[in-house]
Homo-oligomer: A and B are copies of this chain.
């Protein structure tokens, strides 16, 4: 079935009514906030920013982003207090959130609204915190996107379909602003894909051809038109870029709707188990409760955690074939594929050079030592001895490691302290996580599900 963009847009573009309602609600809340702000300080500007002001939002992500723009003499804590005060007056279910500085989030007549404080700056190159750039981004996009809003929507949905949409730590993909810039640069969704099909890693894209001031070492470099020293694509990982490039090429060949709307993958535990058994490796799962922190905190900690697990297992000479994690509603699991869970008891241990000053220490140490499997002997010019390993079973080792202090990020450690489970081989194939397990043992591209 060849894709029709109009069919895609029917599903993702807000209807005239939805658009009008969002605009109306936006105007109402802006008005309310401006009233309050005026009474605090008439210099505080209140602006509707983000995709909803640029007409590039998708119908199912209709959140309203309102910025309070402060004069620079305001101290940070003052900003915070004012935003909280205003939020409390206009929003329901108010939540305080933390980015580079705090902002508030809540509900307004059924819409999700964020109120973000920032400073008024002369240019995007002279900002105080990252969020101060947003008004400049908004202005730039609004000035250049007109008539191409639907192209942006197609690109966003395409990226969603291949799990590459969003610059947050969980995804490491393309931000909404990057999508808008790509459409501005190449003119249409199709042209973005055609160009992406030819990208190399480290590709540099600019809107004007002025010479760059700075060198970047990211997977993709898109010079921010409002700040030449910034790479808009800095959060994009190599893997997500690679996936987008390959998906672009495949889509241009196949033109299937599944690129935008992948099917749910249907794979049974039994099928994944067959795949696993063919490999003749072993699998360990560590299962614990999901820490109650935002994804932008959780995902970097999980990445750090599995990197450390891999490192410590390697130090103990376990051979890690692969490691990955899966986050479900209430549980997190880390999966470790090993060459084998058990390794030999014996380990050849080298000591000092024969006749060096450390020789007698070495020989005395192993005179009566419960860990030795041989007497000391000589290999080449060194002393050597075969010792019993402290850990020759990865499960036993991990149990101790997970109870320890080192190498476990804070929020994960807190959950592990409450308890965890270790399961292995068939028992590690837990129904709840079977999606990620299948992705590992039988990886497929989302459009091929």
Contact = CB atoms under 8 A, between A and B. Distances in A.
Contact of A377 (B237, B245, B279, B443): B443
A97 interface: no
Contacts of A312: none
Nearest to A346: B279
Number of copies of this kind of chain in the complex = 2
Nearest to A202: B381
Nearest to A338: B344
Interface in A418-449: 441-445
A443 B280 contact: no
A246 B355 contact: yes
Most buried by B among A237, A239, A246, A344: A344
Contact of A242 (B198, B340, B344, B354): B354
A172 to B, nearest CB: 11
Contact of A373 (B199, B241, B278, B445): B278
Given A353-B201, A355-B246, A392-B280, A239 B343 contact: no
A386 B201 contact: no
Contacts of A316: none
A212 interface: no
Contacts of A268: none
A242 B355 contact: yes
Contacts of A444: 375, 377
A332 interface: no
A219 B355 CA distance: 13
B443 A375 contact: yes
A355 B219 CA distance: 13
A76 interface: no
A239 B379 contact: yes
A388 B441 CA distance: 13
Given A219-B381, A238-B381, A354-B246, A339 B348 contact: no
7 contacts: A199-B355, A201-B353, A201-B381, A246-B355, A280-B346, A339-B344, A375-B442
Given A242-B355, A279-B344, A280-B346, 12 more contacts: A199-B355, A238-B381, A239-B380, A242-B353, A242-B382, A245-B354, A246-B355, A278-B373, A279-B345, A280-B344, A281-B346, A339-B344
Interface of A: 197-201, 219, 237-239, 241-243, 245-246, 249, 275, 278-281, 321-322, 339-340, 342-346, 348, 353-355, 373-375, 377-382, 386, 388, 392, 441-445
